[in-house]
Amino acid sequence: MYKMSAKPMITAAKIQDRVQEIATEINRTFDFDIILSTLTGAFMFTTDLVRFMANAKHRITFIKATSYGSGTESSGVLKVSGIDDIDIKGKRILLVDDILDTGKTMSTLTHMLKEAGAVDIRTCVLMNKEARRTVDFHADYVGFEIENQFVVGYGLDYDQDYRTLPDIWTLEET
C-alpha cells in the first residue's frame, strides 16, 4: 500500500513559476513547428507550457507512450500509439514528457522521430531523475531535478489515480 507525503514535494505555485521560465527559455532558443506531447502523464505540463509560450504558429499533437503497468516500476516495454498519424517529415519537433527516469521512453521516441524524418528534435521534461538513468540520454529542457522517489500529481499517476492534483507529491510505502 502507498500513501501520499504529508506535504507536496513541489507546490502548484512553484510549478507555475518554473514552467513559465522553461517556456521563456524555449521561446528564446528553439524555433520549432510541432509540440509532440506524451499522454497521459504530460497533459497538464503541456497545457501550461503552451499557455506560457503563447505562439500561434505552434502546432500540437499527442501520442500515447506507456511503459508502466500498475506498479511503481517500469515494465521496460514501451507501447507507442498515434505516432503514425503525424506528419513528421521535415519538421522541427519539441518532444514533451512528464519525467525522465530510465530514459528509455525519450530515447526510443527520439529515435522513432528521426526515422520518420524529423529535421530537429529537442526534448523537454518537467522532472529528471538522473540517478535512475540506464540509457545515455539527456533532455534539452528540464524543469526540476529530483531524487529517486516515485512522484504523483500534476498529470502523473499511480495506477491512474492522483493525476488531476495541482501539486506534485511523493508516494510512500506503508
What is each CA distance from 53 to 97, 115, 124, in whole angstroms?
Answer: 16, 28, 13
The entry of ligand 5GP, Mg ion, none near residue 150 (CB within 5 to 8 angstroms by kind) is: ligand 5GP
Q: Which residue of 43, 45, 150, 169 would you call a contact of ligand 5GP, by CB under 6 A?
A: 150
Is residue 31 flagged as an active site residue?
no
Q: Measure CA of the first residue to CA of the last residue in the chain; give whole Å.
A: 6
* CA dist., res. 141 & res. 163, Å (int): 22
The per-residue b/e assignment along 101-124, b for 16 or more CB within 10 angstroms, e otherwise, is: bbbbbbbbbbebbeeeebeebbbb
The entry of Mg ion, ligand 5GP, none near residue 40 (CB within 5 to 8 angstroms by kind) is: none
Please report whether residue 103 would count as binding ligand 5GP according to CB under 6 A.
yes
101, 157, 161, 167: the active-site residue: 101
Q: Which of residues 70-89 bind ligand 5GP (CB under 6 A)?
A: 74
Residues that bind ligand 5GP (CB under 6 A): 41, 67-68, 74, 97-105, 150-152, 156-158
